[in-house]
Every structure is written in structure tokens, then in C-alpha cells.
Structure 1
Amino acid sequence: MKHVLGLAAALLLSASSVPAAHADGGWASVEMTPAEGWKVLPTGYWYMRGGWPGAVDIAVANRSGKDVGDLYVRISFPPDKLEVTGYEGDYWRCWDVAGQPGAEGMHCTTDGFLAVPGEAFPKLRIKTVGREHHTDTLDVYAETSGDSAHAGVPYRIDLST
């Protein structure tokens, strides 16, 4: 009976947890939501089996009092351990970056999209595959004209069988 109650409590907690990493940073609201392949553990860590495809949805909304058309997004993670296999999203253009810690990962910008105050930019989906057993953080920085907003979440890739 104790095991059944513990299992029921764990299921209730996992059903009520909010899987997104969310931050309101001055000019913007930034939200990361695990999509395909990612699971949110009760500890708040995101988890993915290595070698399996996954995806992360990124949503940025303009919370400033001005129009924003120069959105630049940095997604920071170790690219040799968590590989980006593609991206989707209207108006988005992304490229891989290798370099110093905090600069590595993927950078993206919106081409030709202007968000008025209160409007959301088109959703960006980043497709991933875990390549190495590790624990790290997945961070998203949304920047425009010197203003920055950040959302981040710890994650773990597991290659064990």
C-alpha cells in the first residue's frame, strides 16, 4: 500500500509540474519548453536518452513599450555533447557557434519580423540529439538593442543501457 501511495504521489507531482523554463527579463518574456524526447524529472532537471532525437521550443514575447525588430537569440550548450540537428520557425535564421564557454551552441535571429509591444515572436524549435553522457545547463539569452533576458534549465543526457 505504501508503494502504491508513493507512486500515486509521484504521478500527481509529475502531472502538476510546469516543464517550461521561464523568465521575464525587463524587455522580454523568454520561455523554453521541452518537446519531443525530453522529460522533466521531479528535481526540475530535463532528461534525455543519448542518441535519441529531441526538441526544445523557445518563445520570446516583447514586453517593452517599443517595437522590436532586431531580436538576437543565443542558445548556450556544449555542442560536442548536445548536437543540434536542425531548427524550425517562421522568420528564423540560425547558425552553429563554436568558441569560448557561453558563446558556444547556436545563435539565431529573426529576419524581417517586427514585434509590437505585447506581441510574441514566432516560436523557434531547436532539434537535438544527445551525443555524450553529461550534465550541464541549457541557456537561452534573448537580446535587442543592449537589453537582455535569460531563461535556463539544468539537463542530463544519459547513455546507459
Structure 2
Amino acid sequence: MGDDTFKFIELPSQNPEGRLRAEVTMPPSDILMPPHYPAKVDEHYDFLEGEMRIIIREGEDVYCKAGDKHYNPPGSIHTGCNNSSTENLRYIWTFQPAHDMENFFKMCTETHPLAQNAIFRLEQYLAEELAGEKPPAEESLRELGALIDKCGGLKTVLAMAPAMKKYIHFAQGIRLLR
């Protein structure tokens, strides 16, 4: 979610199903986010403009264009990108149930040093540090804790990015899971 625009259309508090809907615009060649899987969330895409390549671990890549719809079930490992090098991609992204994802996306779109996809950037940073068999710097752990609080707490982060578990356990003083 690099230079994307992200506009909330419907919040979980506005409907009995707990649905979150947002309109997303991605610039040419932009990547949605690193491979991820919302463990308990249905993801629906309604494409308005452009073409998205959805990369699914369990299957073939899917190409969706204006007028198409796509569904990612809970637990499906995936990512996506704007398949055009010249045109924006625009789509409606729906999460149901949304849990605390509203806070997660608000955090991702704020302007601060770790803005735009901060959780995933920090995950990559910590992975690089841990690859050298040294613990994350204290400052990195403080940033991680602040980001977890900012995006709705540990439950939200773990639902959205299960790979973060090993770093969060480390940050809490629990043995690093491998």
C-alpha cells in the first residue's frame, strides 16, 4: 500500500454484519502488500478501473479488470499488484467481519515516519535483523509496540499478519518461535 489512496466507504459500526468497505486507488505497478492472510476475514474485491494481478499461494495467478469481482477466503495466502505500468488501479475492498481492521488501515494511511504499510515494513526490518542471529534493537521493539497499540492491539495485528507472531513473542520476552 505504497502511495495508494484509501477512502472508507462503510465502517463496521454502520452495519449489523460488521463489514468494512473502502475504495482503493493504486498507482501503476504498485504492490498491495507483502503476502499475507487474514485468518478469519472474507476479502472481496470489486474492480472499477485498471487490472490487478492477484498472486495466490495455493493456485494460479488471477487477473481482474474493471467489472470483475474476486473473493479471497479466510486463510488464503495472497498478495496483489497493479498489473499496469501506466494506469491507476481502482477497486472497492470489502472485509467481513472486519474485526478491528478499521484501526489497522487508519494506522497504515497516517503520515508518520513508519507510514503506509508500517506493520509490514517493520516486520521486514525485524526479519533482516533477526537473520543475523542478533535480537532486534530496543528502538525497533518500542516502534513495534507503538504500532501494535496504534492499530487496535495485538489481536488485530495477529489476525491481519500472523507472521508477526514470532517477533511479538520475542518483544514480550518469550522465546522466539522458529
Task: Give the TM bin, normalised by the shorter chain.
Answer: 0.3 to 0.5
TM-score (normalised: structure 1): 0.40
TM-score, normalised relative to structure 2: 0.37
Structure ranking higher on relative contact order (CA contacts 8 Å, 6+ apart): 1
